Amino acid sequence: MNTATVKQNYTYNDISHLPDGNYEIIDGEKIEMTPTGFEHGQLEGIFYNLLKKHFGDKGFAAVGEVGIVIAKTPFRLRAADVVYISRARSAERPKGMLEIPPELIIEIISESNTAWEMTDKVKDYLSFGVDRVVLIDPITRSGSLYQNGKKEALLFSFDEEVALIEGLTVTIKDLLA
């Protein structure tokens, strides 16, 4: 018996009834994502708590593969590990998929991520208007900071200070202590 697999092509109109799961949609195609490990989730929690503590009610932080609509046509939906959006950009707490670019996205690199996947994701975020994208690599204990409008990434080790967002400078190793 020959069974053919039919790929579902998603559009922006499908946004209110997308299936459950861990995936992104790239140009209409659903791309499955590998579940993350404990350390990954722990790092997300550390950054969430840091943002909530530092900014309080000045904005909104969220974790856990937050959906961000990069483009409606072709439909591109990214899943971010940690996001921060100020009340200046969103007076109300966002609901559903984000269609407003947050000021900050933090991505924790997993062993299953390739360099080209992460580069493509950073390019999407910056093209959407995200101010800063921080990549955290727990394996190499290093990170990268990408800023909208700047061509160079800033590379840092967990021992160095990094400005995650204006007004919040941290040393990653101190957060992990």
pLDDT at 133: 98
Integer angstrom CA distances of residue 59 from 43, 122, 127: 20, 22, 22
Q: What are phi and psi of 23, to 5 degrees?
A: -160, 170
pLDDT at 5: 56
In a 3-state reduction of DSSP, which class is residue 93? coil
**Integer Cα distance of 177 and 164 in angstroms:** 18
pLDDT at 142: 95
Sequential pLDDT tens for the chain (177 residues): 555 555 789 999 999 999 888 899 999 999 999 888 899 999 999 999 999 999 999 999 999 999 999 999 999 999 999 999 999 999 999 999 999 999 999 999 998 888 999 999 999 999 999 999 999 999 999 999 999 999 899 999 999 999 999 889 999 999 887
pLDDT at 35: 86
pLDDT at 8: 80
Domains belonging to the chain, first-starting first, are: 12-176 (3.90.1570.10)
Q: Looking at the whole model, is its pTM more than 0.75?
A: yes
Count how many Cα atoms sit within 13 Å of the Cα of residue 156 in the half-sphere of its side chain: 20
